[in-house]
Amino acid sequence: MVKWVLIVLLVALPVLEIWGLILAGRHLGAFPAALLLVFTSVLGVYLAKREWTKVWHAAKIQWQRGEMPAAAGLDGLCVLAGGLLLAVPGFFTDIVGLLMIVPPMRVWFRRGLMLLIRRAIERGRFRIWYRR
């Protein structure tokens, strides 16, 4: 099932992004639409760097207290994924990427990740490999 979801995403996402770019070009004009894409990318890089610094600091504090920084780790994954989505040109990936970086919305993505991990553990599909 995961393979089919990935195949659909790899086909549907570029089509959706091209459609969004065409619509933006029609309504705003080609140059303003291109400027908006560049602006969202630059803003996304700035926000991702700023939020990554905050998440890293929170994780360090939790480590120093002797706690496992699980929430900070999931926040870090959300910020990384959001930054990667902002690097992909297109308005829809930019929207999702920005939502993953903004702290109030990141809580929802973190809960979803926690739910996915919990289900994978319950079904025996989650393994951790380590060496001594």
Q: Are 92 and 19 in contact (CB under 8 A)?
A: no
pLDDT at 53 over 80: yes
Angstrom distances, CA of residue 12 to CA of 16, 37, 40, 93, 104:
6, 20, 22, 12, 28
Q: Are 85 and 106 in contact (CB under 8 A)?
A: no
pLDDT at 9 over 70: yes
pLDDT in tens, 65-101: 888 888 888 899 999 999 888 888 888 888 899 899 9
More confident residue, 130 or 20: 20
pLDDT at 121 over 80: yes
More confident residue, 112 or 125: 112
- Collect all residues with Cβ–Cβ distance below 8 Å to 36 and sequence separation of at least 6: 24, 28, 91
pLDDT for res 63: 87
Could you tell me the pLDDT band of residue 1, with boundaries at 50, 70 and 90? Answer: low
Alpha-carbon distance 107 to 71, whole Å?
A: 9
pLDDT for res 118: 87
Residue with tokens 């207290």: 65
